[in-house]
Amino acid sequence: MAKLRIRMLSSATSVSGQGVGSAYMEQVALVREQADLFEVYENGQKGKSDINHVHTVNPTYRLRMDKHHVNVIYVHFIPSTLDGSLRFPKPIFSIFKKYVIGTYRKADEVVVVNPSFIPPLVELGIPEENITYIPNYVSKDQFHSLPKEEVEKIRASYGVDKDAFVVLGCGQVQTRKGVLDYIECAKRNPDLTFVWAGGFSFGKITDGYEELKAIMDNPPSNVKFIGIIDRAKMNDVFNMADMLFMPSLSELFPMSILEAVNCSKPVLLRDLELYEGILFSWYRKAHDVDGFSSEIRKLYENKDYYEESAKLSDKIAEFYSKEHVAALWREYYPRIYKKWETKKKLPPLE
């Protein structure tokens, strides 16, 4: 059979510190490895394509959704998840949300990173038979545990004591990420070290910018904001930590979680419904600052509880293995091309 030519269209890597950018790089690398079935082009690379896989909702990419290809769009967010992320005047925000919905509807096929997105997308008018769930994936080559001696050097480079219990937060500094609850937990646990990796990827239009900027400029003494870290160095950051704490008020499918579990770090999250279908019961959760602080203390003070939590993270890492996710893409692209081959009068694959 002839190889399917897939063009990946994305601007996700143009803004630093976004999980969508990390997900894009991992997905493209994974599909490229399936060289017996696929040829992969990115953005402006020359070459004809059978499938256009749109990763971000740029107008130029929307224009490339035409009758000559199977058009796939990757849904990393639904319009309601934008609330609490960006601050725009309501009329502009409303127009943008309508544009996003229209872009999703224009695609032939939709891939979601979280099965909880499927019902709202169906409500927006997208046929359920055109929606497929394929989870994110993180490479063990890039994210893995490091030896103790190396971890001590990493801690020293960030000014973190080698014996500190480090509670890591990750992501853009914005209201939706629960940064205020993170800071309150740090205040309640002054004997622990809290490190946040991330910054204002979208500058002053970030929701809650003024309040959060004031905290970053004058954090509690046990809190370090280390800014936006290049992804190539994030394995060091996860290894420097003892646990990942993400008190986000709403989420999609955070790459940070997959990166942390690859390093066998316990994960503490807010008890959001969307996690239930993707992380099962293999993580620690709480509802508010009281619960978060209690879980953090337990992980710090109870060695058995900590080791049990680390093993749960290993289960998540095993479930989202490279082999499993690669098999899903190997089945997906040929299936959707065959599905649309006659409808769109596309050339048959031999």
Give me the domains of the chain, ranges plus CATH numbers.
Answer: 4-137+321-341 (3.40.50.2000), 148-319 (3.40.50.2000)
Pairing of strands 70-75, 109-112: parallel
Alpha helix (H) ranges present in 163-233? Answer: 179-188, 209-217
* pLDDT tier for residue 22 given thresholds of 50, 70 and 90: confident
Contact 108, 53 (CB under 8 A): no
Name residue 44's amino acid. G
DSSP designation for 41: E
* Weakest mean pLDDT among 98-107, 133-142, 181-190, 283-292: 133-142
pLDDT at residue 13, rounded to an integer: 62
Is 87 a residue whose pLDDT tops 80?
Answer: no
Is 84 a residue whose pLDDT tops 60?
Answer: no
The 3-class SS string of 147-168 reads CHHHHHHHHHHCCCCCCCCEEE
Task: Over range 183-212, report the average pLDDT.
Answer: 87
Residue 273 or residue 129, greater confidence = 129
| Whole-number percent of the chain with pLDDT over 90 | 69
For residue range 38-66, list pLDDT tens digits in order. Answer: 999 998 777 889 999 999 999 999 999 99
* pLDDT tier for residue 285 given thresholds of 50, 70 and 90: very high
Closest to 102 measured CA to CA, from 76, 63, 144: 63
Is 205 a residue whose pLDDT tops 70?
Answer: no
Contact 16, 60 (CB under 8 A): no
* pLDDT tier for residue 82 given thresholds of 50, 70 and 90: low
Contact 224, 255 (CB under 8 A): no
Give the SS3 label for residue 68.
coil
Contact 16, 201 (CB under 8 A): yes
For residue range 144-158, list pLDDT tens digits in order. Answer: 999 999 999 999 999
Alpha-carbon span 115 to 131, nearest angstrom: 10
Task: Over range 87-115, report the average pLDDT.
Answer: 88
Contact 309, 266 (CB under 8 A): yes
* Weakest mean pLDDT among 12-16, 18-22, 232-236: 12-16
Is 116 a residue whose pLDDT tops 90?
Answer: no
pLDDT at residue 83, rounded to an integer: 62
Is 326 a residue whose pLDDT tops 90?
Answer: yes
Give the SS3 label for residue 145.
coil
Residue 202 or residue 226, greater confidence = 226
Is 203 a residue whose pLDDT tops 70?
Answer: no
Contact 273, 322 (CB under 8 A): no
* pLDDT tier for residue 80 given thresholds of 50, 70 and 90: confident
Task: Over range 201-221, report the average pLDDT.
Answer: 82
Task: Over range 316-345, report the average pLDDT.
Answer: 94
Return the beta strands (E) in the chain as ranges: 4-9, 38-42, 51-54, 70-75, 109-112, 131-133, 166-170, 193-197, 223-227, 243-246, 267-270, 284-286
Closest to 154 measured CA to CA, from 240, 223, 230: 240
Which token pair is 116? 């909880």
Is 189 a residue whose pLDDT tops 80?
Answer: yes
Write down the pTM of the prediction.
Answer: 0.81
DSSP string for 284-295: EEESSHHHHHHH
pLDDT at residue 107, rounded to an integer: 97
Is 192 a residue whose pLDDT tops 70?
Answer: yes
Closest to 237 measured CA to CA, from 247, 227, 246: 227
Give the SS3 label for residue 198.
strand
Round the average pLDDT of the chain to a whole number and report it: 91
Alpha-carbon span 93 to 86, nearest angstrom: 9
Is 17 a residue whose pLDDT tops 50?
Answer: no
Which token pair is 62? 């929307």
Task: Over range 327-340, report the average pLDDT.
Answer: 97
CA 38 → CA 56, 145, 327, 333, distances in Å?
Answer: 21, 32, 13, 9
Contact 127, 107 (CB under 8 A): no
